[in-house]
A and B are shown apart, each in its own frame.
Chain A
Amino acid sequence: MSVVTAPAPAPTGRPVSRMESLLRARELGIALVIVIVFGLTTLNNHSFAQVASIQQLLSGAALIALLGVGETLVIVTRNVDLSVGSVVGLSAYIVGDLFKHHQGMPVLLGFVIAIAVGAAIGAINGLVTTVARVPSLVVTLAMLYIVRGVDGVLVNGTTIDPSSIPAAFTAVGYQTLFGIPWLAIIVVVVVAAAGYAMRSFRSSRDLYAIGSNPDAAALAGIPAARRVFTAFLISGALAGLAGALFLALHAQIDVSGGTGYELTVVAAVVVGGVAIFGGSGTVLGAALGALLLNTINQALVASRVSSFWNGAIAGALLLAAIAFDRWLSLRVARSLQSAEGAHRDL
């Protein structure tokens, strides 16, 4: 390709922009599916479009979307973080326990501590993965057990109930600003910030390079270990934040908080178009994936389809999303090939 005499930007510029537009269409596609599901359900059951129902829709998706942001950073680098569910449980309990024993603790401090707990675990994940050079799936699977075990020892069969959590803290879980739940606002801010960073910052673009081709990234001088470490750190910190929000939303916490979230998050991220083997996908897509899964769950409830169908439909949908992804990437590859061929002909 490099021997083509045409100006350099033309051959590389065109296919990339086409691919980008297709990827953008992917997010648009998910948004469209959300709107269609929402519309069809509303036709069936008018109360689905009520403000309270929409608020519930957003709040319900918020935690998974938040975890999805961190998971996206990690998966883009061709790693995975399975410890997020346990981190949610542990950080939520630690904050709840602090509120119980130190009445009058500032609400903001609760959030800071939760984020710190998550970041510490994320740092362990990142360090072990990058320094010992072992697969992150195994490391974070081990951390899933260890963190849940530590959580269980701390909780020791107790439950933190709403009476010991300050009202100002739980308010974050149910209050709204101009009708938008605070939970959703926080998540939108995080998604917007992360989305901007992932598009514009060189260090974030490095994450994509590492995920597309680790060897090439290393040869290009990208500090892969540092970048992967940072991705795990952020994923942990966001999982810690999600723990605080979990506590605010449910106003109580026992040993089971956040159990099984890890696979839901991975499912949402994959539905959102993030490639499981790294290198592509956006934070916005992941968040929309979480919203789509939750919209479908709520739509089934609103359509009075027995809630027993939720799991099976979510599973079938995930399979469809993965298959669609494959079809799309094949199309992109073909269009790139034909674009390349066209250049040769010129």
Chain B
Amino acid sequence: MATRTPVPTSQNVGESRAHSLWRGLLRWESALVLVLIGVVIFGSSQTPNFLNPTNFFYAGLNMGEIAIMALPLTLIIMTGEMDLSVASMLGLSGALMGELFSNGWPIWLAIAAALVVGALGGALNGVLVARVGLPSIAVTIGTLALFRGIALILLAPRTITGFPASLTTIGVVPIPGTEVAYSAAIFLVMAVITGVILHATPLGRSIFAIGLQPEAAQFAGIRVNRIKFCLYVVSGLVCAFAGILLTLKNASVSYDAGTGLELNVVAIVLFGGVSIFGGRGTIIGVVLSVAIVGALQQALTQMNIQPEVQNIVLGVLLLISVVIPNSGEAIAHIRDRARRRA
């Protein structure tokens, strides 16, 4: 993955030469590895048995759904678009599954229906963004309200419980013989698949190309709109799946499950080094970002530190993650201006 070379465009050829040294030495992913090591050392020094396997299980359990939703979102952001409806889709899928189940549908049929609705919701985003050409931030704020609103209509103030114990066990015990939570294992498998698609297939190269220069990608014969549409469908499907996992994990669902998580998911993707303008980022970075946030949350929780402080830490990390990689360019710009004035 380290061998990927940025697609040169007329604009950034000069820029990339100046920065290649910088980037080679100081890839964001290597910085993330150091941060992860730092967090683990910090956690171990502050709490006894931080590296105990149960901790690993809980970290996986807590991060699972967010991490899973981060994968398709990474691809979408990589194309220069955005999806803020992810957490609402998670809520809608859980609500639909709960509603159908409480009406006597077999659980597997309820799950299948939730997945279908996930794909349809994603297709709605995809049509509006890729076919109609509307700005994705605005569209997905709209579907954020719409999906959550439908979840509210479905469940209203009810909380659905009573899901089969054979399935809700994923929220209580790890995969037998290991200390890996089911959702964490699913995330890792999906991360490998996404990583291969992004970094080793023509589709992945197309996604980078779209993010760097949509018009150039179009002229190079890449079906920009079709790829964007498909990514939104996949995002809807995967978020619906995350909603099913969350519902089973909690063994209950209400309409507001996962409210506000969309910004956490976006924060994790961006902290993983994915550029908000598209065209830059790796799946490894996102996986490291998930691991850091999960480990940090576990450490701070064990130290009995208020969840609010975790917010501050997450915010500061996010800020650092954009300021540091950009500082070289910013300093060059300031110097340039100072020289011009002199």
Contact = CB atoms under 8 A, between A and B. Distances in A.
A319 B147 CA distance: 12
Interface in B212-245: none
Contacts of A151: 308
A172 interface: no
Contacts of B311: 145-146, 148-149, 152
A168 interface: no
A144 interface: yes
A267 interface: yes
A308 B322 contact: no
A341 B148 CA distance: 47
A151 B315 CA distance: 13
A14 interface: no
Interface stretch (A232-240, A242-250, A281-289, A309-317): A309-317
B132 A312 contact: no
A276 B312 CA distance: 28
A149 B128 contact: no
A315 B153 contact: no
Interface string A116-150: 00000000000010011111011101111111111
Contact of A315 (B142, B263, B266, B314): B142
A142 B327 contact: no
Nearest to B277: A135
Size bracket, chain B contacts: 35 or more
Interface stretch (B109-117, B133-141, B195-203): B133-141
A236 B51 CA distance: 42
B172 interface: no
Tell me if B's interface is mostly helix, strand, loop or mixed: helix
A138 B270 contact: yes
A128 B316 CA distance: 12
A16 B141 CA distance: 31
A255 B311 CA distance: 13
B319 interface: yes
Given A144-B263, A308-B156, A149 B319 contact: no
A235 to B, nearest CB: 17
B289 to A, nearest CB: 13
A322 B141 CA distance: 11
Contact of A149 (B137, B149, B270, B309): B309
A319 B141 CA distance: 9
A259 interface: yes
Contact of B149 (A133, A138, A309): A309
A138 B322 contact: yes
A318 interface: yes
A313 to B, nearest CB: 7
Interface in A25-72: none
Contacts of B313: 149
Contacts of B267: 141-142, 145
Contacts of B52: none
A9 B138 CA distance: 36
B128 A323 contact: yes
A269 B209 CA distance: 32
Contact of A276 (B137, B143, B321, B327): B137
Given A153-B309, A260-B260, A312-B149, A146 B315 contact: yes
A149 to B, nearest CB: 3
Contacts of A133: 326, 329-330, 333
A204 B276 CA distance: 27
A135 B319 CA distance: 10
B138 A276 contact: yes
A210 interface: no
A255 B309 CA distance: 13
B133 A311 contact: no
Contact of A322 (B134, B309, B318): B134
A144 B152 contact: no
Contact of B266 (A132, A141, A308, A313): A141
B142 A318 contact: yes
A230 B270 CA distance: 26
A134 B276 CA distance: 10
Contacts of A141: 263, 266-267, 270, 318
B307 interface: yes
Interface string B1-38: 00000000000000000000000000000000000000
A197 interface: no
B315 A145 contact: yes
A310 B318 CA distance: 33
A196 interface: no
Contacts of A259: 260
Contact of B322 (A134, A156, A309): A134
Contacts of A314: 145, 149
Contacts of B144: 263, 315
Contacts of A270: 138, 141
A283 B132 CA distance: 27
A145 B134 CA distance: 28
Given A263-B144, A312-B153, A319-B146, A152 B307 contact: yes
B84 interface: yes
8 contacts: A141-B266, A149-B310, A149-B314, A311-B149, A312-B146, A315-B142, A315-B149, A318-B145
- Give me the 3 closest cross-chain CB pairs, A-B, nearest first: A152-B308, A312-B149, A311-B149
Given A139-B322, A146-B312, A150-B312, 15 more contacts: A131-B334, A132-B322, A138-B276, A142-B322, A143-B319, A144-B263, A145-B267, A266-B138, A267-B145, A312-B146, A312-B152, A315-B149, A318-B145, A319-B143, A322-B142
